[in-house]
């Protein structure tokens, strides 16, 4: 069946979405064409390709790409597809190379994707083959922009620029950089790669779902409480407790955090308060911040507490925790979630150590939090195959206590507002024809 | 050092490793955690050459406190992922001594295959476990203790689904 725009519009209503958006193969393929080609999708951070020839391979939607720095220091995002027979040119997750060479017939490419050499040239003479024709290159992704080190790409030539797309989400990235006493960050170590048996939107929607932690993650709080109960009298609680306990916070706490949404489907929870607000001070950090920013600005920077700034459709970043997570859709029911960690250059190591501990406890496939989210997504993926009820509910706080401030709308933290906002963006991408049409 | 190696009762070390695996497979986590010293660490890196568990992410890196919390969370009735319990079966082999400080302080490496049944699916893990063991004389608790355990999965850097178990 060929879906027309009206069919797609019929899947999204003000207070519900049709189950097809999660389980229908054709919708998934359309999303790859329309959402993941049009939107600015996070590719990587520039610190992952520090030197000329450094590259990482990743995906935009289901398209394999390479992000690489060339000899003139420019960062390119090119398709990881040979211009000859279409083989994936590199299988390495990252590396350093003077050029790319396809292992099948030996076509080699410059770091900007242009064709360098085809072996045994004689066979191409007088055939009309033109080495400069971009169809024979590792093609360039249409648009690549870098916001303060964060590299995003869009696969369509025309559209809003990255800064306009990010809007108020820029303030989260700005805050992250302000938290570094040198104003710089760098990615450290490998990513955690967590394979989910669910549609990519379930992961993205959960990022600002403030009404699930007290249920889904109830066991962790209980386990922590039991452990504290076993401690000898007067013993101080383990430092990890401040990371795990907020996941058991009350509905009221999450309501008070609030949720803020903006154009293009982005959102965040918190702002003033969040589950990261009560972390203990790290010795020596504040002094370094004051030396850079002065007292007043240091206070401002550290007071910003946004929980999961979701940059739709691919990316989420926190400010008090130095981690980013990226959704890489694989199939309608399969999504790879990557967690990357970064160092605030110039800050005490203890801050990075806290992030690493947080991520092991919350984001790792072996953590006590992520697997219960995973399990709930997989349950939805399975049960939404049922045609007993075609609709998925988005009612919470619908039209209630929504406050508009310019481009940003704020609501109570357990509102479904962030999901309703994501589906408005989804419709804009999905119900306006194909990119190539 | 080779002489010291000869003096260690490898059969006793193997029996200790089998006991650890059996405690895990049978869900006897109280007995399992008591094989670890108070200052023990348990590490499962995300890359094969990883050296830094604090400043780089790992799949798992826990001290005794975190191990205790995880044991209390294991098969918890409020955890959706444990609505159906997880089951495992270990096979341990190729047990060999590495560094031997003394007969009471040495490192032993073994290979494992672990089959996990979880959330309706069966999954196979393989890798090496490196145990730093000490022999403690302490009344009824006399025996080996684990001071550090490092588990290297052969696919540590690959995407994984949930890993709710110890190895
Ligand atoms: Fe969650």
Q: Is A23 within 8 Å of A381 (Cβ atoms)?
A: yes
With cut-offs at 50, 70 and 90, classify the pLDDT of residue A256: very high
CATH number (domain holding residue B134):
3.10.450.50
With cut-offs at 50, 70 and 90, classify the pLDDT of residue A234: confident
The arithmetic mean of pLDDT across residues A72-87, rounded, is 98
Sheet containing A267-271: which strands, arranged edge to edge? A185-196, A334-344, A323-331, A315-317, A305-311, A267-271, A259-261, A408-411, A403-405
- In sequence order, what are the residues at sequence separation of 6 or more whose Cβ sits closer than 8 angstroms to the Cβ of residue A299? none
Q: What is the ipTM of this complex?
A: 0.96
A93-105: pLDDT as tens digits: 999 999 999 999 9
Rg (CA), chain B: 16
The arithmetic mean of pLDDT across residues A411-426, rounded, is 97
Q: Is A306 within 8 Å of A170 (Cβ atoms)?
A: no
A189 contacts B65? CB cut-off 8 A: no
What pLDDT score does B2 carry?
62
Task: Give the CB-side neighbour count of residue A244, counting CA atoms within 13 A.
Answer: 28
For tokens 């009309």, what's the residue? Answer: A128
DSSP strands (E only) in A70-182: 75-79, 94-96, 100-101, 108-109, 115-117, 143-147, 150-154
Distance CA A408, CA A168 (A): 8
Residue B148 lies in a domain: yes
A416 CA → ligand 1 middle, Å: 15
The minimal CB distance from A364 to the residues B47, B60, B83 is found for B60
For residue A226, the chain B residue with the least C-alpha distance is B72
A341 contacts B57? CB cut-off 8 A: yes
Q: Is A280 within 8 Å of A239 (Cβ atoms)?
A: yes
B158 contacts A222? CB cut-off 8 A: no
- The two three-digit tokens of residue A405, written as one number: 């401030």
Tally of domains in chain B: 1
Distance CA B90, CA A218 (A): 30
Instruction: Show which of residues 166-195 on chain A sit within 8 Å of chain B, judged by CB atoms.
Output: 188-195
A178-203: pLDDT as tens digits: 999 999 999 999 999 999 999 999 99
Residue B163 lies in a domain: no
> Does B132 score more than 70 pLDDT?
yes
Q: Which element (helix H / strand E) includes B90? A: strand B87-102
Distance CA A205, CA B90 (A): 37
The minimal CB distance from B162 to the residues A223, A227, A371 is found for A371
Distance CA B14, CA A416 (A): 55
Distance CA A195, CA A169 (A): 26
The minimal CB distance from B159 to the residues A218, A336, A359 is found for A336
Q: How would you write A73-90 as a 3-class SS string? A: CCEEEEECCCCCCCCCCC
> Does A437 score more than 70 pLDDT?
no
Instruction: Show which of residues 8-67 on chain A sit within 8 Å of chain B, judged by CB atoms.
Output: none
Distance CA A261, CA A409 (A): 5
Which region among A36-40, A146-150, A339-343, A401-405 has the lowest average model confidence (pLDDT)? A401-405
Domain of residue B79 covers 3-153
- Which SS3 state, helix, strand or coil, does residue B50 take? coil
What pLDDT score does A1 carry?
63
Q: Cα distance from B55 to chain A (closest Cα, Å)?
A: 5
What is the maximum span of chain A, computed from C-alpha positions, in angstroms? 88
What pLDDT score does A241 carry?
82
**Residues of CATH 2.102.10.10 domain(s) within chain A?**
42-147
- CATH architecture for segment(s) A42-147: 3-layer Sandwich (2.102)
> Does B113 score more than 70 pLDDT?
yes
A156 CA → ligand 1 middle, Å: 34
Rg (CA), chain A: 23
Interface probe for B, chosen from A196, A244, A350, A364 (most Cβ of B below 10 Å), is A364
Residues in B lying within 8 Å of A, measured between beta carbons: 44, 46-47, 50, 52, 54-61, 65-66, 68-70, 72-73, 76-83, 119, 157-164
> Does A55 score more than 50 pLDDT?
yes
Q: Which CATH class is domain A168-430?
A: alpha beta
Phi, psi of A262 (to 5 degrees): -145, 175
> Does A158 score more than 50 pLDDT?
yes
Cβ-Cβ pairs closer than 8 A, A with B, add up to 127
A349 contacts B59? CB cut-off 8 A: no
- Which SS3 state, helix, strand or coil, does residue A51 take? coil
The arithmetic mean of pLDDT across residues B81-90, rounded, is 96
Distance CA B117, CA B125 (A): 11
């Amino acid at each position: 069946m060929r879906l027309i725009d009206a069919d797609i519009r019929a899947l999204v209503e003000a207070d519900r979405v049709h189950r097809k958006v999660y389980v229908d193969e054709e919708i998934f393929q359309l999303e790859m064409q329309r959402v993941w080609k049009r939107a600015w999708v996070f590719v990587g951070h520039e610190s992952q390709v520090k030197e000329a020839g450094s590259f990482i391979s990743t995906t935009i939607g289901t398209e394999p790409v390479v992000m690489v720095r060339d000899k003139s220091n420019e960062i390119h995002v090119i398709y990881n597809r040979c211009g000859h027979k279409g083989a994936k040119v590199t299988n390495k997750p990252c590396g350093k190379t003077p050029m790319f060479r396809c292992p099948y017939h030996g076509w080699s490419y410059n770091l900007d994707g242009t064709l360098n050499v085809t072996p045994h040239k004689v066979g191409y003479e007088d055939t009309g083959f033109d080495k400069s024709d971009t169809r024979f290159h590792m093609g360039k992704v249409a648009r690549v922009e870098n916001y303060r080190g964060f590299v995003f790409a869009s696969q369509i030539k025309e559209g809003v620029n990255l800064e306009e797309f990010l809007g108020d989400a820029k303030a989260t990235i700005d805050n992250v950089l302000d938290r570094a006493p040198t104003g710089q960050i760098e990615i450290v170590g490998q990513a955690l790669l967590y394979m989910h048996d669910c549609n990519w939107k379930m992961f993205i929607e959960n990022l600002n779902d403030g009404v699930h932690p007290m249920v889904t993650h109830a066991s962790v709080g209980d386990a922590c409480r039991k452990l504290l109960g076993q401690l000898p009298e007067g013993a101080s609680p383990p430092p990890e407790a401040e990371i795990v306990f907020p996941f058991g916070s009350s509905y009221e706490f999450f309501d008070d955090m609030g949720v803020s949404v903006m154009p293009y489907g982005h959102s965040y929870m918190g702002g003033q308060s969040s589950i990261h607000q009560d972390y203990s001070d790290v010795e020596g950090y504040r002094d370094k911040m004051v030396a850079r920013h002065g007292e007043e600005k240091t206070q401002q920077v550290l007071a910003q507490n946004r929980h999961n700034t979701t940059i739709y459709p691919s990316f989420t970043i926190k400010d008090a925790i130095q981690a980013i997570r990226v959704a890489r859709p694989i199939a309608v029911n399969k999504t790879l979630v990557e967690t990357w960690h970064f160092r605030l250059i110039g800050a005490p190591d203890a801050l990075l150590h806290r992030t690493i501990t947080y991520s092991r406890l919350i984001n790792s496939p072996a953590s006590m939090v992520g697997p219960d989210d995973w399990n709930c997504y997989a349950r939805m993926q399975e049960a939404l195959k049922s045609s007993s009820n075609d609709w998925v509910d988005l009612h919470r706080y619908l039209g209630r206590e929504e406050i508009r401030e310019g481009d940003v709308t704020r609501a109570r933290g357990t509102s479904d507002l962030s999901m309703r906002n994501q589906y408005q963006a989804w419709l804009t991408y999905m119900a306006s024809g194909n990119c190539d049409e | 050092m080779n002489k010291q190696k000869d003096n260690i009762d490898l059969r006793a070390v193997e029996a200790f490793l089998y006991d650890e695996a059996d405690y895990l497979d049978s869900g006897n986590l109280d007995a399992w955690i008591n094989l670890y010293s108070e200052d023990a660490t348990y590490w499962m890196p995300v890359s094969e050459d990883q050296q830094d568990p604090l400043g780089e992410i790992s799949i798992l890196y826990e001290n005794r406190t975190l191990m205790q919390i995880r044991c209390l969370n294991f098969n918890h009735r409020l955890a959706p992922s444990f609505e159906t319990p997880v089951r495992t079966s270990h096979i341990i082999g190729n047990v060999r001594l590495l560094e031997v400080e003394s007969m009471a302080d040495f490192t032993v490496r073994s290979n494992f295959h672990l089959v996990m049944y979880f959330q309706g699916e069966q999954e196979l893990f393989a890798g090496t476990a490196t145990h730093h063991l000490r022999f403690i004389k302490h009344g009824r608790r006399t025996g080996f203790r684990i001071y550090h355990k490092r588990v290297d999965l052969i696919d540590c850097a690959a995407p994984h689904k949930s890993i709710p178990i110890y190895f």
